[in-house]
């Protein structure tokens, strides 16, 4: 089949529907948010149209800088944790028996049906002093007495990694199934131990998939606002938590919008940087 | 005991026996072709030699040492896969240097060896090319060079040429054989192309259903097949029932063949006669009589199909000695006892 660029206006016809959807559900809300971010806040919960930079100026402070820094750090940490656990797991899964694969995939995908609230409360129970896993360790004689593991950074990380893990597998699994198993066998005949073959062949061959997974989990984790509140201390709150707080509880829409726009810009910049780094490596 | 020795090697997948009690001795520096129909266990046997699969029975020795349980990466061998399995993320040079890099060889030594190997495979200056932009034949050569980078004791190739077109395949067969002779490396090639096996091998090993049917030099395999499977699988042959009469002479299709003997005590067998050894003559006078059913002129050779006693016999002659026959004509067939082989079964 030959592919020709569209010649006349009618040739663009099939694009009308997706373009319309994109405009209505993405461009318009996002444009509204950008506009609101420049509006003037009125005491008492509303705003008037204006063009002021107050909202942006307000978070040029150490406090918001720290929150932004922590949000990015948390999202990157979750993305790295998902990929580091996900690749060996999916690699072994893709090489196991068919029915073993199906059981694992169904179990993992069923996590997707759990809402963030349920995941949050489940982990807060598991990490609690009264009903948590530490009781099991005490019972096994590994610990003196049960203690609460939440609120803590580890609890936030664990729950967020748990939540993002099925998405990680969904992206990695097809790529690893398609990976030619003779590549690792060839590496072994050439003198690489199975572990070395994994790091010198499987990981580099999947570089683009890994990069895509990192970016996806990063963006996914950046939007999480329930788990940090449920399982973390105030210093573990992310920018998303503050945005929710400002928008819903403080009724400060312009400031919430400004933070949201800033978050989008920063994450776009980071994703662009990752793509650029990937491109550079490829061109070499 | 040097060389490669397989001792009663067996591989079972569940209840299915893919390789059954295979014993084979490969002296150093020989070129062996594993030949057999699809699914006969050639790849499985080669994977066991490479250590990619472990035998369920028997032992494999290399240079006297038992390597049956030694993991693949400690066997110091070179292997070329049917899919070639070139690493797509590495350049030609990096692919060839992979085994050296894994062993921690110095960078400049690696580079010198890569250049040496690229010259050997007639691709000098290709080190920085991407392997994804090579032709089939070039990829083939790179895979061979990569496998030979550490100068392994044993060189294994699983249907290395099957992806190439006929012309290139013939050229690569000769090239591979010359390379092997120059390096003097013990080489085992899996193939299901008997022409390929005859071109390259010192020893052809014919397999069927997981067992070795015959292991011998190409000429012996062709001239003295061990059984009817080998005779039929290697080249074209006519398999005719043969009986011993009361005087002990062999009778084929009702005619005694002078000078042909069955093994002592046997009364029945199968006679294998190559088409080029079948002589067409005038009927009668002690010849087997038959009727010409079809003539195929292939340019370089003429095949005459004759039906005799319910059997089809094919005779091949060169255009110079074109037989003066036509379809439907009654002809006589003479078998030469020197070139006919009586098989047990
Ligand atoms: N991992 C496996 N599990 C079960 N059966 C297998 C496995 N590998 C191979 N077999 C079976 O063992 C037999 C021999 O397979 P093998 O790949 O060795 O054949 P082959 O001679 O190389 O054939 P081909 O010429 O088609 O490559 C086949 O019947 C195959 O189905
Ligand atoms: Mg095979």
pLDDT digit string, tens, across residues B256-311: 777 777 776 677 888 888 998 888 888 877 788 889 999 998 888 899 999 988 88
First CA to last CA distance, chain B: 35
Q: Do B83 and A196 touch (CB under 8 A)?
A: no
Please give the C-alpha separations between residue B137 and each of B76, B116, B159, in angstroms, as whole numbers.
25, 19, 14
Environment class of residue B270 by beta-carbon count within 10 Å: exposed (0-12), middle (13-18) or buried (19+)?
middle
pLDDT in tens, B60-94: 999 889 999 999 999 989 999 988 999 999 999 99
Per-residue model confidence as pLDDT tens digits over A66-123: 888 899 999 999 999 999 999 999 999 998 999 999 999 999 989 888 888 899 899 9
Query: Bridge-partner residues for B145, per DSSP?
Result: none
Give the pLDDT confidence of B111-151 residue by residue, as tens digits.
999 999 999 888 998 999 999 989 988 999 999 999 999 99
Of A159, A139, A152, the C-alpha closest to A224 is A159
Residue B39, ligand 1, Cβ within 6 A: yes
Question: Which of 3.30.930.10, 3.90.1150.10, 3.40.50.720, 3.40.50.300 is the CATH number of B4-228?
Answer: 3.40.50.300
Interface ipTM = 0.82
Task: Check CB contact under 8 Å for A189 and B50.
Answer: yes
Confidence of residue B340 (pLDDT cuts 50, 70, 90): confident
Q: Reply yes or no on whether the pLDDT at B16 is more than 90.
A: yes
Nearest C-alpha to atom 25 of ligand 1 is from which residue?
B38
Please answer yes or no on whether B73 and A183 come within 8 Å at the CB atom.
Answer: no
CA distances to A234, A279, B74 from A224, rounded to whole Å, are 15, 29, 48
| Pocket perturbation via mutation, ligand 1, pick of B19, B20, B36, B43 by most ligand atoms within 8 A of CB | B43
pLDDT tens digits, A216-260 = 999 889 888 889 988 888 888 888 888 888 888 888 888 888 888
- Kindly list the domain boundaries of chain A, sorted by start residue: 65-283
Report how far ligand 1's centroid is from the alpha carbon of B41 (Å): 5
Distance from CA of A88 to the nearest CA of B (A): 19
In chain A, residues with a C-beta closer than 8 Å to the C-beta of B70 are: none
Residue with tokens 């994703």: A271
Cis preceding linkage at A151, omega within 30: yes
Residues in B closer than 8 angstroms to A193, CB to CB, are 71, 73
- Phi, psi dihedral angles at B293 (to 5 degrees): -110, -25
B17, B210 in Cβ contact below 8 A? Answer: yes
Q: Any idea how long chain B is?
A: 345
* pLDDT interval class at B324 (50, 70, 90): confident
Nearest CA-CA partner of B20 in B7, B30, B8: B8
Report the residue of chain B nearest A203, measured CA to CA: B89
Domain coordinates in residue numbering, chain B: 4-228, 236-343
Topology of the domain covering A65-283:
MetI-like fold (1.10.3720)
* Backbone φ and ψ of B34, nearest 5°: -90, 120
Chain B neighbors of A180, CB-CB under 8 A = 83, 85
Q: Tell me the whole-structure pTM to 2 decimals.
A: 0.80
Confidence of residue A282 (pLDDT cuts 50, 70, 90): low
Q: Is B247 helix (H, G, I), strand (E, B) or coil?
A: coil
Closest approach of B41 to chain A, Cα-based (Å): 18
The first and second tokens of residue A120, run together, are: 């949050």
pLDDT, mean over chain B: 89
Strands B238-244 and B65-66, by their bridges, are unpaired
Please work out whether the CB of residue B43 comes within 6 Å of at least one atom of ligand 1. Answer: yes
Q: How far is the CA of A206 from the centre of ligand 1 (A)?
A: 29
Asked if residue B345 has pLDDT above 70, the reply is: no
Pocket test for ligand 1, best of B9, B41, B189 (most atoms within 8 A of CB): B41
Ligand nearest to the CA of residue B208, numbered in listed order: 1
State in words which class domain B236-343 has. mainly beta
């Amino acid at each position: 089949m030959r592919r020709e660029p569209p010649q006349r206006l009618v040739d663009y016809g099939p694009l009308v529907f997706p373009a319309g959807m994109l405009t209505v559900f993405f461009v318009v809300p996002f444009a509204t948010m950008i506009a609101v971010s420049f509006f003037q806040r009125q005491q008492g919960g509303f705003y008037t149209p204006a063009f002021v930079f107050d909202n942006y100026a307000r978070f040029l402070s150490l406090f918001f800088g720290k929150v932004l820094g922590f949000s990015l750090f948390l999202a990157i940490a979750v993305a790295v944790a998902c990929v580091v656990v996900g690749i060996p797991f999916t690699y072994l899964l893709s090489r196991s028996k068919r029915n073993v694969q199906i059981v694992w995939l169904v179990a993992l995908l069923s996590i997707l049906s759990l809402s963030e609230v349920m995941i949050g409360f489940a982990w807060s129970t598991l990490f609690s002093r009264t009903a948590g896993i530490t009781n099991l360790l005490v019972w096994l004689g590994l610990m003196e007495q049960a203690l609460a593991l939440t609120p803590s950074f580890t609890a936030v990380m664990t729950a967020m990694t748990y939540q993002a893990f099925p998405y990680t597998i969904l992206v990695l699994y097809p790529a690893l199934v398609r990976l030619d198993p003779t590549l690792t066998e060839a590496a072994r005949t050439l003198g690489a131990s199975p572990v070395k073959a994994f790091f010198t062949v499987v990981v580099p061959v999947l570089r683009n998939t890994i990069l895509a997974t990192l970016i996806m989990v990063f963006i996914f984790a950046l939007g999480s606002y329930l788990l940090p509140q449920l399982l973390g201390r105030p210093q573990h709150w992310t920018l998303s938590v503050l945005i929710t707080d400002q928008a819903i509880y403080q009724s400060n829409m312009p400031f919430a919008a400004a933070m949201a726009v800033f978050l989008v810009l920063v994450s776009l910049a980071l994703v662009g940087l990752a793509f650029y780094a990937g491109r550079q490596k490829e061109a070499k | 005991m040097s060389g490669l020795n397989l001792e009663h090697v067996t591989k079972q997948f569940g209840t299915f026996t893919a390789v059954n009690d295979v014993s084979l001795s490969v002296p150093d520096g020989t070129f062996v072709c594993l030949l057999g129909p699809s699914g006969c266990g050639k790849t499985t046997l080669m994977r066991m030699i490479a250590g990619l699969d472990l035998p369920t029975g028997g032992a494999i020795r290399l240079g006297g040492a038992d390597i049956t349980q030694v993991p693949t990466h400690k066997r110091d061998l070179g292997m070329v896969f049917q899919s070639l399995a070139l690493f797509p993320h590495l350049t030609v040079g990096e692919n060839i240097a992979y085994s050296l890099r894994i062993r921690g060889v110095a960078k400049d030594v690696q580079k010198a060896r890569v250049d040496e190997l690229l010259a050997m495979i007639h691709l000098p200056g290709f080190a920085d090319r991407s392997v994804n932009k090579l032709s089939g034949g070039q990829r083939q050569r790179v895979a061979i060079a990569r496998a030979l980078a550490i100068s392994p004791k044993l060189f294994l190739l699983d249907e290395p040429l099957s992806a190439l077109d006929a012309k290139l395949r013939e050229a690569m067969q000769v090239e591979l054989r010359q390379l092997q002779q120059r390096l003097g490396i013990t080489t085992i090639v899996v193939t299901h192309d008997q022409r390929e096996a005859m071109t390259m091998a010192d020893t052809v090993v014919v397999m069927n259903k997981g067992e070795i049917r015959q292991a011998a030099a190409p000429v012996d395999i062709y001239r003295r097949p061990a059984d009817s499977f080998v005779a039929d699988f290697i080249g074209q042959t006519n398999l005719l029932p043969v009986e011993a009469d009361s005087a002990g002479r062999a009778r084929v299709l009702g005619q005694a063949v002078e000078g042909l003997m069955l093994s002592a005590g046997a009364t029945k067998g199968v006679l294998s006669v190559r088409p080029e050894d079948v002589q067409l003559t005038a009927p009668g006078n002690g010849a087997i009589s038959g009727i010409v059913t079809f003539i195929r002129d292939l340019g370089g050779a003429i095949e005459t199909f004759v039906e005799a006693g319910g059997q089809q016999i094919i005779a091949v002659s060169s255009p110079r000695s074109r037989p003066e026959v036509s379809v439907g004509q009654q002809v006589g067939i003479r078998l030469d006892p020197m070139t006919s082989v009586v098989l047990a079964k």
